[in-house]
Amino acid sequence: MTQCLFRTAILFSLLVVGSTAAVPLPNSKTGEAITDRAGFIPHRKHLAVPGKVIGVLVTDAQPVLSAEGRSGPPDQLCLGWNGGSYRWVYVPVKEKAIITNLQVHLPGDKIKVYPSLNMANPATVKDWGIDTPYTLVEVEVNDGEGSPAEDAFVATKMKKLDGSKEFPIQIATVIADLRKQYQSHLTEKQKDLDAAMDTAAKKALKENKPTGPRETSTLMFVTWMPETERLIVRFRSTITDGNYKYGNGINIELPRPALPPGPPKGGAAAPPRLENGLRFGEQFGIEYGVQFEVHKSGKLERTSILEPQSFEKMLPPPPLGRGKQPFGLPVPVKR
């Protein structure tokens, strides 16, 4: 029943037209440009967390976690705070514990043992009144003792804040609206992005022509900035194409393996992804993105552009016999 209500909340948030004030998106020539490309989507940027924080509880963190080589249960909720990497969140439970007697590190090299924990998910946070896919929450971290720069902590208390007098913003509605704005912006910028891809193709392939397919994937990262009390939402799109060949001339697209059940342990790496199937050859592409900054009232105050930048890489052919290298594993990106 809880999962059904949670899915309904997600669907509702995607259908509602948000109250975010429309601010024209800057174009790549006149808009404020993002200078920290490497940190636009954080990579293993773990921050020390004080005993009580305000952050965004996020329901679809796995794509960003996968980019860091991390994986967790499909219904996990993670915390976005202060621009750092998503934090896994454990919560104390009286029954259905999946983690027992966990030793949690505290500041000052102290350790605290929690006898019965589960991951934060729609079922384990419902008693705190949290029922939306994105929620601004006040969290008590490790019984108020805080956490060192690691990838997880125990949330011993939570309080929903969005929609309150102090924080009128409705996080789920705002994010649904920003998704629409970003997709509209990509449509408007299509000619410019196509031109950037044509330039990248000539640089990577010289006289050769791309075989396709041309593919676009988008990561969304959400975080709450405590000093400015602003919601930051970043979208980064990666468009790829290439001059591809296929093993034995057969185009076989392999499905990605399912994530293992249970909680992450020690930042365990995600299972290898065969994201390119059995294709190999020369691949090129561009990265492009937009950052939205939203006031705690829900007003969109600023947009910034991650300028298009090209990349190219070689996808080695898949091994035909036994080998340690996964199918389609790309070599490092050349920029």
In a domain, 301, yes or no: no
**Structure confidence by residue, pLDDT tens digits, 205-228:** 999 999 999 999 999 999 999 999
**Strand 279-295 to 152-160 pairing:** unpaired
Residue 256: predicted pLDDT: 47
Q: What is the CA radius of gyration of the chain?
A: 21
81 within domain boundaries: yes
326 found inside a domain: no
Kindly report the three-state secondary structure assignment for every residue of 150-219.
CCEEEEEEEEECCCCCCCCCCHHHHHHHHHHHHHHHHHHCHHHHHHHHHHHHHHHHCCCCCCCCCEEEEE
Model pTM?
Answer: 0.81
pLDDT of amino acid 317: 85
CA–CA gap between residue 121 and residue 181 (Å, rounded): 28
Per residue in 259-309, pLDDT tens?
444 444 444 444 444 455 578 999 999 999 999 999 999 999 999 999 999
Positive or negative torsion for Cα 58, 65, 46, 307: negative
Six-digit token string for 177:
């609206």
The strand pair at 78-80 and 52-58 is best described as antiparallel
Q: How many domains does the chain have?
A: 1
15-24, 70-79, 138-147: which range is least confident on average?
Answer: 15-24
| pLDDT for 239 | 98
pLDDT tens-digit readout, 139-175: 999 999 999 999 999 999 999 999 999 999 999 999 9
Does residue 322 sit within a domain? no
Tokens 């509209």 locate to: 184
Q: Report pLDDT digits (tens) over 225-254.
A: 999 999 999 999 999 999 999 865 555 554
Which pLDDT score is estimated for 246?
Answer: 83
In a domain, 52, yes or no: yes
Question: Can you give the pLDDT at residue 278?
Answer: 76
Quick one: what percent of the chain has pLDDT higher than 70?
Answer: 76
Average pLDDT for 180-204: 97
Q: 318 lies in a domain?
A: no
Percentage of the chain surpassing pLDDT 90?
73
Q: Which of 43-47, 279-283, 315-319 has the lowest mean pLDDT?
A: 315-319
Is the separation of the CB atoms in 252 and 157 below 8 Å? no
> In angstroms, rounded to a whole number, what is the distance separating the alpha carbons of residues 289 and 312?
18
Pick from 121, 69, 100: which is nearest to 272 by CA?
A: 69
| Average pLDDT, rounded, for the chain | 84
In a domain, 153, yes or no: yes
Asked whether residue 48 is domain-assigned, the answer is yes
Residue 129 has pLDDT above 90, yes or no: yes
pLDDT tens profile 82-128:
999 999 999 999 998 999 999 999 999 999 999 999 999 999 999 99
Give the DSSP letter string of 219-285.
EEEEEEETTTTEEEEEEEEEEEEEEEEEGGG----PPPPPPPSS---SSPPPPP--TTTTEEEEEEE
Q: Which domain holds residue 88?
A: 42-160
